[in-house]
């Protein structure tokens, strides 16, 4: 049986489409953003020879817990607007080497590219989300404008921020019932921001990087992108309310939130479901 080329696989196709979606939404200017997709050997085999290593790149943290796993991941410094036409240059398929301190490149990065500078945050997040749900094989980072803007004007408190976002549209609590995790502002591309993000990912699928962007995890490109779309739409509504004067005279009440969770059979974060009204501040 002849092997289809990996570039024609559904995984590369999904990566091309999603990076284009992130770019056209204005959430990934220049080289902003990165995406990783954990693939199974059985998914890759019809398209690529998993035994053929093109080159090896070191990583300076310990990923031995996921040694042997495969990831299709965007390259560092690569412009998302270009990935759709150049997936073999701007993305790569890697396998975490046995020692956990390097990756074998099996496909892509064909002009010398390397995995994203946020690879520590991606892999550490994958490790922790796999503990929660092994179907969650996508991690996505981008720079959504309104959510970032809120990180300048709203206290960086998970309950406060989550409740505002939940109350901006009925959809929010249904799509992210656990709420939004928040880490302090930290230097991007470091192991430290990776550790802090992954720690929050034990509890949340959405983690805000203040004054920078968001990290999201999910079980498909659509689902993970949808999480970001929903939180960013809520942030856009909040921004619009602020531009209309910022005074709430109506709101989605806590009882309304509870009713939504009953209607959709979901469990909201019990620490966030009751709190201050946006109208009275009490
Ligand atoms: P990379 O180009 O290394 O993926 O970095 C983009 C980014 O958004 C950093 O946070
Ligand atoms: Zn970024």
Ligand nearest to the CA of 73: 1
Instruction: Name beta bridge partners: 38.
Output: 71
* Residue extents of the structural domains in the chain: 1-117, 118-282
Q: Given the CA of residue 28, which atom of ligand 1 is nearest to it?
A: 8
Helix axes 145-153, 221-243, angle to 10 degrees: 50
Is it the case that residue 44 has pLDDT exceeding 60? yes
- Segment (H or E) for 142: strand 138-142
* 117 close to ligand 1 (CB < 6 Angstrom): yes
**pTM beyond cutoff 0.75:** yes
141 known member of a binding site: yes
pLDDT tens-digit series, residues 154-209? 999 999 999 999 999 999 999 999 999 999 999 999 999 999 999 999 999 999 99
* 95 close to ligand 1 (CB < 6 Angstrom): no
Distance, C-alpha 264 to centroid of its chain? 24
Distance CA 225, CA 223 (A): 6
**Per-residue b/e over 172-197, b at no fewer than 16 CB within 10 Å?**
bbbbbbbbbbbbeebeeeeeebbebb
Mean per-residue pLDDT, 230-247 = 98
Instruction: Provide the annotated active-site residues.
Output: 118
131 known member of a binding site: no
212 known member of a binding site: yes
* 19 close to ligand 1 (CB < 6 Angstrom): no
Lowest-pLDDT range of 48-52, 118-122, 148-152, 191-195: 48-52
**Phi-psi sector, 142: left (phi>0), alpha (psi -120 to 50), beta:** beta
8 Å CB contact between 213 and 35: no
pLDDT tens-digit series, residues 195-212? 999 999 999 999 999 999
Q: For residue 247, count CB atoms less than 10 angstroms from its CB and return exposed for 0-12, middle for 13-18, buried for 19 or more.
A: exposed
Q: 118-282 has which CATH code?
A: 3.40.225.10
Q: Given the CA of residue 34, which atom of ligand 1 is nearest to it?
A: 4
Q: How far, in Å, is the centroid of ligand 1 from the Cα of 141?
A: 8
Ligand nearest to the CA of 148: 2
- Class (C level, CATH) for 1-117: alpha beta
> Whole-number mean pLDDT of the chain?
97
At residue 48, the pLDDT reads 93
Percent helix, strand, coil in the chain, to 5, is 40, 15, 45
**Phi-psi sector, 143: left (phi>0), alpha (psi -120 to 50), beta:** beta
Q: How far, in Å, is the centroid of ligand 1 from the Cα of 113?
A: 13
Q: DSSP characters for 50-111? A: TT---EEEE-SS--GGGTT-EEEEEBTT--HHHHTT-HHHHEEEEEE-TTSSEEEEEEE-TT
At residue 52, the pLDDT reads 95
At residue 104, the pLDDT reads 98
Is it the case that residue 218 has pLDDT exceeding 80? yes
Q: Given the CA of residue 77, which atom of ligand 1 is nearest to it?
A: 2
Distance CA 12, CA 30 (A): 20
Write the CB contacts of 59 (distance below 8 Å, at least 6 apart in sequence): 101, 102, 103, 115, 119, 120, 123
Mean per-residue pLDDT, 250-264 = 98
At residue 4, the pLDDT reads 82
Do 1-117 and 118-282 show the same overall fold? yes
The first and second tokens of residue 162, run together, are: 């989550």
The first and second tokens of residue 116, run together, are: 């994203």
Indicate the pLDDT class of residue 2, thresholds 50, 70 and 90: low
Is it the case that residue 3 has pLDDT exceeding 80? no
Q: DSSP characters for 7-61? A: GGSHHHHHHHHHHHHHHHTTS--TT--EEEEEE-HHHHTTT--TT---EEEE-SS
């Amino acid at each position: 049986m002849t092997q289809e080329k990996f570039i024609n696989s559904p995984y590369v196709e999904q990566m091309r489409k999603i990076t284009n979606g992130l770019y056209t939404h204005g959430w990934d200017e220049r080289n902003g953003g990165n995406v990783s997709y954990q693939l199974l050997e059985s998914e890759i085999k019809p398209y690529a020879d998993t035994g053929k290593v093109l080159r090896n790149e070191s990583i300076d943290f310990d990923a031995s817990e996921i040694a042997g796993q495969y990831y299709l991941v965007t390259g560092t410094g690569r412009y998302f607007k270009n990935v759709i036409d150049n997936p073999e240059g701007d993305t790569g398929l890697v396998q975490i080497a046995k020692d956990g301190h390097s990756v074998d490149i099996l496909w892509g990065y064909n002009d010398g590219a390397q995995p994203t500078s946020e690879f520590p945050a991606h892999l550490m997040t994958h490790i922790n989300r796999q503990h929660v749900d092994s179907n969650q094989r996508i991690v996505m980072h981008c720079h959504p404008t309104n959510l970032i803007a809120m990180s300048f004007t709203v206290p960086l408190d998970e309950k406060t921020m989550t409740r505002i976002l939940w109350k901006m549209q009925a959809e929010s609590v249904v799509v992210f019932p656990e709420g939004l995790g928040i880490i302090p502002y930290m230097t991007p591309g470091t192991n430290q921001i990776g550790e802090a993000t992954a720690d929050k990912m034990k509890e949340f699928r959405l983690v805000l990087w203040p004054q920078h962007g968001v990290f999201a995890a999910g079980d498909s490109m659509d689902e993970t992108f949808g999480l970001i779309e929903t939180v960013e739409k809520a942030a856009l509504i909040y921004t619009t309310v602020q531009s209309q004067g910022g005074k709430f005279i109506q709101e989605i009440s806590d009882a309304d939130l509870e009713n939504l969770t009953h209607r959709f059979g979901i469990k909201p974060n019990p620490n966030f479901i009751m709190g201050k009204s946006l109208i009275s501040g009490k």
